[in-house]
A and B are shown apart, each in its own frame.
Chain A
Amino acid sequence: MPLKAKCKECGADIEIPDDALPGEIVSCPDCGLEYEIVSISAGKVELKLAEDIGEDWGE
């Protein structure tokens, strides 16, 4: 069973891929809000709201 987290905005389930790592971004499938994975351990995942795209991001 893949790990799941609840979207704080709309309450939908967000599935966490098996190979997810801290720092990765996951999106709510319903409202699209983006979260950053803070930690994954012992079947628990902690999310925080992802940062907005910065002016100095990217190549």
Chain B
Amino acid sequence: MPDITIIFDRLRWEEKELFEKGKELGLDINMLDVKSEPKELTNLNRDPQIADIVLQRTISHYRGLYYAAILENYGHTVINSFITSLLCGNKLLTTLLLAKNGIPTPKTYAAFSMESALKVIDKLGYPVVLKPIVGSWGRMIAKINDKEQAESILETREMLTDPQQQIYYIQEYVKRPPRDIRGIVVNGHVIAAIYRYQPEDDWRTNIARGGKAEQIKIDGELEDLMIKASNVVNAKLVGVDAMETENGYVIHELNNNLEFHGAFQATGIDIAREIMSYVKELVKN
């Protein structure tokens, strides 16, 4: 049996790096494309082709989520776990957990009809941010500047067939510098942190949208917040996003499906090696 199995559906730069760095560390790794491996749900034995420790690296949130559920039920340890992926992948659940654990986070509401969403938006004042509860790479995140925009965006959302698009996650627009901060937290340690500067033609900072990364040495306060945030979802490998506000830091997102090419280029920190070193510890135990 291999030491570790990396499950994937599209081999990105990150997965190749993890594979290479794992090999350098002496790990026997097998790569499993979940697209080509159906799994039985009614016979819950360990799969001898799959290592006890599984690193979940699918680009698709749902594939990774459900494959984690299956392998955990077979008895494998999956990083990140099903529950961590579920909680991080859903902004509504993430926000609830951050708030419950006293971690500062932007003021946010959930509304369950277009009419009540408009009321919440009016109450929060413009601009305001509307996000899909499950979404990635900043897609369909809208900064709404006035009531006309609010109505047209909500009307469009009402027309979409995915029922989750009619659950409105509405967040105050946080006054911040033109950047946010991404911390990469591996097993409770912030191993790298970057500013993510928004591109000139966008207010979003996602690297996938052209955001520019720059290394930062974070202070102890932010480090503590990031570690605490990763702990509330029991994440072993997570990108924690923070913003600088007049009243201190807020944590606004936890990314279980971590991409780290931009952070590697900006910092030179060998993030893949750090991750695989942590995984190697698990194999030993």
Contact = CB atoms under 8 A, between A and B. Distances in A.
Interface of A: 19, 21-25, 36, 50-51, 54-59
A23 B59 contact: no
B183 interface: no
Contacts of A21: 11, 16, 19, 31
A57 B31 contact: no
8 contacts: A21-B11, A22-B11, A23-B10, A57-B59, A58-B136, A58-B137, A58-B259, A59-B239
B162 to A, nearest CB: 8
A10 B61 CA distance: 33
Contact of A58 (B8, B11, B208): B208
Which are the 7 A-B pairs with shortest beta-carbon distances?
A: A23-B11, A58-B136, A56-B61, A58-B137, A59-B255, A24-B11, A59-B257
Given A22-B11, A22-B31, A23-B33, A57 B136 contact: yes
B62 A56 contact: yes
Q: Which of A19, A23, A25, A59 has the most CB of B within 10 A?
A: A59
A46 B65 CA distance: 28
B65 to A, nearest CB: 9
B156 interface: no
B61 to A, nearest CB: 4
Interface in B128-185: 134-137, 139
Q: Size class of B's contact patch?
A: 20 to 34
Contact of A59 (B8, B16, B62, B137): B137
Contacts of A55: 135, 139
Interface of B: 8-11, 15-16, 19, 31, 33, 59-62, 134-137, 139, 208, 239, 255-259
B284 to A, nearest CB: 26
A54 to B, nearest CB: 5
Nearest to A21: B11
B31 A36 contact: no
A33 to B, nearest CB: 16
B257 A24 contact: no
Nearest to A23: B11
A22 B10 contact: no
B60 A24 contact: no
B31 A58 contact: no
Given A56-B61, A58-B259, A59-B258, A23 B31 contact: yes
Nearest to A19: B16
B10 A51 contact: yes
B16 A56 contact: no
A56 B60 contact: yes
Q: Which of A19, A22, A57 has the most CB of B within 10 A?
A: A57
Contacts of B259: 58-59
